[in-house]
Amino acid sequence: MLDGCTPWPGEFVDRYWLSGHWRGRTLDGLLRDAAKTDPARTALVHAGTRLTYGQLNRRVERTAAGFKLIGVMPRQRVVVQLPPVPEFVITVFALLRMGAVPVICPLSYRAEETARVVRVAQALCYVGPATYDGFDHRAVAADIAQGPFLRRVFTWEPPGAASALGGATVDEVGCHYFPLASVDAAPEPMPHVAAGDVALLLVSDGQHLVPRTHNDLACQARTAAEAVGLGPQDVCLVAGDAASAAGFACPGLVGALGAGATVVLAEGAAEVASLVAEEGVTVVAGVSRSELASGGIDLSGVLVVEELLHGSVEGVALRGGPGGALRPLSAEDEVRVAGADGTEVPVGEVGELQVRGPSVVRGYYRGAGGERFCADGFFRTGESVRRQDDGSLLPG
């Protein structure tokens, strides 16, 4: 496992494998499986771009080879801060395929927050927009590169917006800048990646990095997809920040692509109304029903993930029910309601929700935030709940 990450004790590793919650498939393997099963099925839709699973897989192959050619190495941390566009999906899966570790950074982060993510991850590479929504991300990356970490910056620009000059440049401190569109090479064999390896790092509360292995993130995405009945027949719209739990893997992009569904990417709420009707959207992730309804969008027959699932980037995944009651998604998810002294409180009393399971991490990256994790592996969510007589949970 990547240095600075907390592994699961052996007894839990055995339990999750034997129960079938961990299945030994990498996240990239899920995409390749879907491409082999039905290469002609539409995988991604965004603006004027439509990619089948076969086309998406080939783009990932060539981009992975391009990163490798430029010098990105296995286990190197690469901060990815892109809007929900096809290049976000292609970049993340390409890095996963070659064994690098994407650090999924919220697009809303500005200079201070992004610099913190780079510093904690000790990232050598950054992938982001040149500019987006009036903010100069390239300038922020160039400023961060004055420090000891970033040495390669890859900038994305919308189709038709790239400079006619193009090409790679290098600054006075030796940081190299490449157009993301130039990261392309003939496919070649990639290093072996194990399902128990750390696949990527997610950001929690703007402070901590969350190491997610292929096994645990695939488990969360799959169980969340199964809970909402997501399958090849569905069209899943991911709106807003793809770095959120619902947008990325609960079930999000990973769950939808793993299930063979079509993913429609929307950068803003203004796009959602037309896309729901035009693309025949059946599932929406990353935005609430109230946000959608405020735009006058007809949601009849559309499943809104946030109404059914409660998830976090740490791997917590609970199923919602009548009256707001919550239950674990899988049989291996363990939940307790603890008092201030850490012991279980009686049924009906309010306490802190603590969770342990095959998708819940055992610690933040580099040991930060250790107080959020109990000695027996339970994650302290900080949320107040009370347990009902039937075992379900209600917000406190």
Q: Cα(64)–Cα(99) distance, rounded to whole angstroms?
A: 9
Q: Which residue(s) pair with 198 in the sheet?
A: 213
Euclidean distance between the first and the last CA atom of the chain, given in angstroms as a whole number: 37
On whether the CB atoms of residues 65 and 77 are closer than 8 A, the answer is: no
Same domain? 155 vs 271: no
- The DSSP string of 44-75 is EEETTEEEEHHHHHHHHHHHHHHHHHHT--TT
Does residue 37 sit within a domain? no
Which one-letter amino acid corresponds to residue 189?
Answer: P
Does residue 343 sit within a domain? yes
328: Cβ contacts below 8 Å, ≥ 6 apart: 317, 318, 319, 334, 335, 355, 357
Same domain? 177 vs 284: no
**Tokens 């030994």, located at residue:** 24
Does residue 130 sit within a domain? yes
Count of other CB atoms within 10 angstroms of residue 46: 22
Burial class (CB in 10 A: 0-12, 13-18, 19+), 192: exposed
Q: Cα(363)–Cα(379) distance, rounded to whole angstroms?
A: 8
Does residue 136 sit within a domain? yes
Tokens linked to 102: 């994407």
Which one-letter amino acid corresponds to residue 367?
Answer: G
| Residue 162: per-residue pLDDT | 65
Burial class (CB in 10 A: 0-12, 13-18, 19+), 376: exposed
Same domain? 93 vs 227: no
Q: Which domain holds residue 85?
A: 47-182
Cα Rg of the chain (Å, integer): 21
Using the 3D structure, point to which of 119, 149, 182 is the last residue of a domain. Answer: 182
Q: Cα(222)–Cα(229) distance, rounded to whole angstroms?
A: 10
Same domain? 216 vs 107: no
Tokens linked to 264: 């429609």
CA 159 to the chain's CA centroid: 24
SS (H, E, C) 173-196: CCCEEEEHHHCCCCCCCCCCCCCC
* Count of positions (residues) in the chain: 396
The CA distances from residue 75 to 166, 241, 330, in Å, are 29, 25, 30
**Tokens 């929307």, located at residue:** 266
Same domain? 380 vs 247: yes
Using the 3D structure, point to which of 132, 150, 182 is the last residue of a domain. Answer: 182
Same domain? 226 vs 373: yes
| Residue 340: per-residue pLDDT | 92
Same domain? 209 vs 151: no
Same domain? 107 vs 203: no
Count of other CB atoms within 10 angstroms of residue 157: 18
HSE (CB half, 13 Å, CA atoms) of 316? 22
- The whole-model pTM stands at 0.96
Q: Tell me the CATH number at 148.
A: 3.40.50.980
Same domain? 162 vs 221: no
Same domain? 77 vs 174: yes
**What are φ and ψ of residue 235, in 5° steps?**
-120, 110
Does residue 273 sit within a domain? yes
Strand (E) or helix (H) holding 125: strand 125-129
Same domain? 157 vs 253: no
The CA distances from residue 178 to 52, 165, 251, in Å, are 27, 12, 32
HSE (CB half, 13 Å, CA atoms) of 161? 10
Same domain? 171 vs 215: no
On whether the CB atoms of residues 104 and 92 are closer than 8 A, the answer is: yes
| Residue 240: per-residue pLDDT | 78
> What is the β-pairing status of strands 262-266 and 235-239?
parallel
Q: Cα(145)–Cα(139) distance, rounded to whole angstroms?
A: 10
Total number of domains constituting the chain: 2
Q: Tell me the CATH number at 270.
A: 3.40.50.12780
**Tokens 């793809």, located at residue:** 242
Task: From first to last of the 396 residues of the chain, give the pLDDT tens digit.
Answer: 899 999 999 999 999 999 999 999 999 999 999 999 999 999 999 998 999 999 999 999 999 999 999 999 999 999 999 999 999 999 999 999 999 999 999 999 999 999 999 999 999 999 999 999 999 999 999 999 999 999 999 999 988 776 545 689 999 999 999 999 999 999 999 999 999 999 999 999 888 999 999 999 999 999 999 999 999 999 999 987 888 888 899 999 999 999 999 999 998 777 887 888 899 999 998 877 777 776 667 778 889 898 899 999 999 999 998 888 999 999 999 999 999 999 999 999 999 999 999 999 999 999 999 999 999 999 999 999 999 999 999 998
